[in-house]
Amino acid sequence: MKQYRNLLFDLDGTLTDPFEGITKSIAYALEHFDIETKDLNSLKSLIGPPLKQSLMEIYHFDERKADEGVARYRERFADKGIFENILFEGIPELLASVRSKGHKLYLATSKPTVFAVQILHHFHLDQYFEFVGGSELDDSRPTKTHVIEYVLEENKIQDLSETLMIGDRKHDIIGAKNTGLDSVGVLYGFGDQEELNQAGATYIAEDIPALKNILQL
């Protein structure tokens, strides 16, 4: 198995389980449009991808309405949802082990950078990362491909053969393919094996121990 010097990690569904905070904030936004959410589990598929894109694809919002929905979502998320979040067991140990072996870690998330920085700090994970790359509140870097490109460019990472993207949804895998990276799809997050295989994941990790094995820890 290849050795990868640079590791790009997704946040939601890969390092933390943000189910409660994200789904409650989405339900809050949908309520503004008189859309009732009877079961928060019905919103699980919206965790990971950019919310604006999901609102347009799933609820058929036009761009103006989707932007308003994102604004309503952030209204609750910034106040409450951001810390309605659980760190996956074993993640701090995994990151510490990776760093101790000389790998460089970068965050590549569709979440706005300002929120991602707060979450890493809250869970004391910021110490492990060289750089935090996310989307922006002005809707720049709208896809995971844009985010990964940004992380690579800002850190002058040119040897793509030594760089690996790790995430739980197809958008992470597609973003990696679009930028020439190998990828790991993790099954303990919000994507399933079919989704990750169809997207073209280089490796599949069922759980944290399996991810450690892929990373040769």
Check the CA dihedral 134-139-141-145 and report its sign: positive
The CA distance from 52 to 62, in Å, is 10
DSSP3 helix / strand / coil % (the chain, rounded to 5) = 50, 15, 35
Closest to 168 (Cα-Cα) out of 19, 2, 3? 19
3-class DSSP state for residue 95? helix
The answer to whether the beta carbons of residues 58 and 200 sit under 8 Å apart is no
User: Which member of 10, 12, 17, 182 is catalytic?
Assistant: 10
Stated as kind and residue range, the H or E segment containing 215 is: none
Among this protein's residues, is 192 annotated catalytic? no
Residue 34 structure tokens? 């008189």
Q: Is 194 exposed, middle or buried (0-12, 13-18, 19+ CB in 10 A)?
A: exposed
The answer to whether the beta carbons of residues 6 and 106 sit under 8 Å apart is yes
Residue 191 structure tokens? 């994507």
- Main-chain phi, psi angles of 212, to 5 degrees: -60, -35
Active site residues: 10
